[in-house]
Amino acid sequence: SQQGEEDPQALSIQEGENATMNCSYKTSINNLQWYRQNSGRGLVHLILIRSNEREKHSGRLRVTLDTSKKSSSLLITASRAADTASYFCATDAITGGYNKLIFGAGTRLAVHP
């Protein structure tokens, strides 16, 4: 199983609603990041939260981190059609003796006008 796993795999909402995506991970981390990927494009960094932080805001984004539960959530408030994209969490993990950034499988968000 993966270091970071998002839930749900897909989410469909109406414009104006809030969207919540969750990420769970398995090992201790230094930080956790959320990225967005529009169809056919590269990933874009949204927000980074460090292991000693519990909550972070950036515009309409709110990220929480619970290291005791090894989980994080990304909340997008007042969603817009332009928020339609895949959202990935990424955590650092040591595998094979190397520190890597491990990406989850992503949550596909569809925001309908």
Tokens encoding 40: 């056919």
Q: Are 36 and 52 in contact (CB under 8 A)?
A: no
Chain positions 40 to 79 lying near other proteins, rule: CB under 8 A, are: 40-45, 48
**Tokens 């970071």, located at residue:** 4
Q: Are 100 and 90 in contact (CB under 8 A)?
A: no
| Residue type at position 104 | G
Q: Are 7 and 109 in contact (CB under 8 A)?
A: no
Q: Check binding of 99 to other proteins (CB under 8 A).
A: yes
Q: Check binding of 100 to other proteins (CB under 8 A).
A: yes
Tell me which stretch binds other proteins (CB under 8 A): 7-15, 16-24, 37-45, 60-68: 37-45
- Separation of alpha carbons 35 and 2, rounded Å: 17
Q: Check binding of 88 to other proteins (CB under 8 A).
A: yes
Q: Check binding of 96 to other proteins (CB under 8 A).
A: yes
2 versus 64: smaller Cβ distance to other proteins: 2
- Contact positions vs other proteins (CB under 8 A): 2, 29-31, 33, 35, 40-45, 48, 88, 92, 95-96, 98-106
